[in-house]
Amino acid sequence: MIKIGIVGLGRIGQVHIQNIQQRIPDAQIVAACSATEQSLRFAANMGVNLLFTSFKKMLEKVSMDAVIIASPTALHFEHLQLAIASGKHIFCEKPIDLTLDNVQHIKSLVDKAGIKFMLGFNRRYDPNILKIKQELTDQRLGNIHSLRLISRDPGPPPMDYIKTSGGLFLDMAIHDFDLARHLMESEVSEIYTAATIFGKLPLKSVDDVDTAISVLKFQNGSFATIENSRNSTYGYDQRVEVFGDQGLLATGNKSEDTVYSANSNGFHYPKPLKFFIERYKESYFNILDVFVKSLTQDLEPEVTQRDGLKSLIISLAAKKSQLENRTVSLSEIN
């Protein structure tokens, strides 16, 4: 039985507790840390008996094999250093941090500590993406020419969240940048990004945008286009298309249901799911299951601190490209 502690009991933290306590028999959440009583009550109701408001004290007082870091991004650097120093294996929500220096520092600490570290890029573990990845591994498309990702949220998060999140590129598009690397199995060499604000939030005041289109060129010569928006009126829009010399692979949205109708005005289909937790419900379970297996079977984690560094560099290059209105080589960031 793998004993796990968790810090951060917001939406994602609560999903992680539910998945481990209810669906992963080889692991158990034995301790939880949060700043709010309501979140700690949720953990208690899920069978977690050891509750803390200090992550440092939790690490000192509880015997654990690993920790899940699901705290706000602004606290990741502090919490990661404490967890690494305590010798715990780590599952950390993305991003590791918003600054290149801090991410490089954490990568160096993890490399030296000899612990297992897995980063929460859950979209890799969506059942549809897993199938596409296997098809690509089996060379079903031959040489990949291009990749297209569409990622549109039904609305922006609150301004209080946006101010500390890193904005669209480091909080939202970073998922797509990681997925593009994962599917292409090549590193990005340069990026061009155009972005603007269409919504009503005062995003300019925090140097953010709500709409962006990025064109990525990979070292193997292939391309990807990524469309991001926080203004989808019809639901959570997540689509992937991979094109190669033997055809294409694609996956569409998950809908609220499978019922459709037809009348004199045409065919009518249900909207996509409205929230990312619903859309990626299985992926959140799958990625934690893989993390636990890496501990029980002594396997190398599949998404590591290196992936966190690579995706952050792409995100910073995208932001630089948008601000300077030019193609940016990733070597400028690295």
Q: Give span(s): CATH 3.30.360.10, the chain.
A: 123-280+303-332
What would the pLDDT profile of 278-324 be if each residue is shown by its tens digit?
889 999 999 999 999 999 999 999 999 999 999 999 999 999 999 99
Question: At the topology level of CATH, where does 2-115 sit?
Answer: Rossmann fold (3.40.50)
pTM over 0.85: yes
Distances (CA, A) of 217 to 193, 221, 321: 12, 7, 13
DSSP bridge partners of 255: 272
User: Is it the case that residue 28 has pLDDT exceeding 90?
Assistant: yes
Count other Cβ atoms within 10 Å, centred on residue 216.
28
What would the pLDDT profile of 96-152 be if each residue is shown by its tens digit?
999 999 999 999 999 999 999 999 999 999 999 999 999 999 999 999 999 999 999
222-241 in b/e burial notation, b at 16+ Cβ within 10 A?
A: bbbebbbbbebeebbbbebb
Q: Give span(s): CATH 3.40.50.720, the chain.
A: 2-115
Question: What's the confidence (pLDDT) of residue 256?
Answer: 87
Class for the domain spanning 123-280+303-332: alpha beta
